[in-house]
Amino acid sequence: MMNGLFGTDGIRGEAGVYPVTAEIAEGLGRAVVEVLGRGNAAKVLIGRDTRESGLSLETGLVKGLMARGAEVIKLGVVPTPALASFIGELGADAAVMITASHNPFSDNGMKVFGPSGYKLDDIFERRIEKILLEEGGDGGVIEEGVVRDFPEGIESYVRMATGSVKGLDLGGLKVVLDAGNGAAFEVAPRIFRELGADVIAMAIEPDGKNINECCGAVHAAVAGRLVMEHGADLGISLDGDADRVVFTTADGAVLSGDRVLAIGALGLKAKDRLRHDAMVATVMSNLGLDEALRNRGIKVLRAAVGDRQVLEMMKSEDLCFGGENSGHLIFSDYATTGDGIMSALQVCRLMREEGKTLAELASVMDEYPSVLMNLPVREKVPIETLPGLKAMISEAEEAFGRDGRQLIRYSGTESKIRVLVEHRDAAVVDEWIGKFKQMISEELG
């Protein structure tokens, strides 16, 4: 029953429905302390985004952690990257962020960071699942822990974020900043204003239900329209927990995450700060990224989907930059996870240093025509057991050769199958998207 509790980004689902319940949160708190092996010496941080269900999950977590004697520090509403950064600063053993990222308010989730500030790896997650399976959220108090608040945490994050672009003056830069009614609704506009930017802030009035509602990273075109209305230089749209960012240019166009990855890699290489002249993207990134960077002496490594997978490859290959085309950008010299605010500051820094518009910076690559289709499924039947789809994948691979690719996988957080088709010829993309859609309909319903 508990197998697969953790998806690509922690535990996530409909709030109040298994496994996103206060009872599971309590069990998670107990399990985290046990896995840490620190007993009543464990110190664990808790942060959350602005969803109304966050307080209930926080209460459950606190109960479970304190029942194992832990010292619990509540940071309240904070961006995920801020919470991760506080682990080292406060000498904590772990942190739990309560968020469902870009999902609607009706969802929520919990993702766990270890003592290094990185998300827990698969081994630790499986150990937590095993403990939850055996104990659930039950069990008496072993030794009562303590709990305290840390409201001054935001001040520390502001210093860290501005320090990552030391000396940057954004005076004269007009920015539309869409906080998505999420965790960065206060801190993001403040940081950009402190650096001198003229900030037009939107979606900064969370009410517990309006997080990501027609705003934020998944609705970046909204900020794009404001950019044109106000004659701004760019738009910056954050997701619910501010660990990813999507940009819009001065003419309101939404930039793909791959173009931003190219901007970041080339900017670091120009300063001789791109270690080993390589970066990490995921299997979802466009082939045009590889082509553009290869022509400039940069190698693109491919990780599985998920910013945790990107980070693991970055660490194993000793690289300092990577990300996902969904908007996660990881500058590991400054952060242990994706950070939408600091990534946006790095892009603004490059605009200033090179004297170019965002559109000019983004013109460094051409994207292959591609379509990403998301289809709901009743159950996630292993793809290799579906004869028709398996045969069609082989047929596509042979037909595409080096001119294109397909990628079919299940979502790690939703009951959906994702189909990506990419090719130099847009007509070929449309043809194969239609074929795959029909086959999936026949075999998965």
Residues 322, 404, single domain; the answer is no
Residues 119, 47, single domain; the answer is yes
Query: For residue 140, what pLDDT is reported?
Result: 52
Residue 5 pLDDT class (50, 70, 90 cuts)? confident
Residues above pLDDT 70, as percent of the chain = 97
Catalytic-labelled residue, pool 56, 85, 101, 256: 101
Residue 267 pLDDT class (50, 70, 90 cuts)? very high
Angle between the N-to-C axes of helices 340-354 and 187-194, in degrees from 0 to 180, rounded to the nearest 10: 20
Q: Name the residue with tokens 């997978």.
A: 309
Residue 180: which CATH number? 3.40.120.10
Query: For residue 402, what pLDDT is reported?
Result: 85
Residues 309, 429, single domain; the answer is no
Query: For residue 4, what pLDDT is reported?
Result: 66
3-state secondary structure 7-76: EECEEEEECCCCCCCHHHHHHHHHHHHHHHCCHHHCEEEEEECCCCCHHHHHHHHHHHHHHECCEEEEEE
Residues 239, 270, single domain; the answer is no
CA distance linking residue 443 with residue 285, whole number of Å: 27
Residue 386: which CATH number? 3.30.310.50
CA 275 to chain centre: 23
Domain boundary, last residue among 248, 266, 284: 248
- In terms of Cα–Cα distance, which of 350, 49, 53 is closest to 187? 49
User: What's the whole-number mean pLDDT along residues 115-136?
Assistant: 85
Residues 208, 180, single domain; the answer is yes
Judge contact between 310 and 322, C-beta under 8 A: yes
Domain count, the chain: 4
Residues 344, 288, single domain; the answer is yes
Give residue 206's domain range.
172-248
Residues 415, 347, single domain; the answer is no
CA distance linking residue 324 with residue 182, whole number of Å: 20
Domain boundary, last residue among 362, 387, 403: 362
Residues 39, 136, single domain; the answer is yes
pLDDT tens digits for 196-254? Answer: 999 999 999 999 999 999 999 999 999 999 999 999 999 999 999 999 999 999 999 99
What are the tokens at 358? 């965002």
pLDDT tens digits for 127-174? Answer: 998 888 776 545 555 668 899 999 888 999 999 999 999 999 999 999
| pLDDT averaged over every residue in the chain | 94
Query: For residue 257, what pLDDT is reported?
Result: 96
Residues 20, 138, single domain; the answer is yes
CA 224 to chain centre: 21
Query: For residue 142, what pLDDT is reported?
Result: 61
Catalytic residue list contains 370: no
Q: Which of 33-37, 208-212, 364-368, 386-390 has the lowest mean pLDDT?
A: 33-37
User: What's the whole-number mean pLDDT along residues 1-22?
Assistant: 83
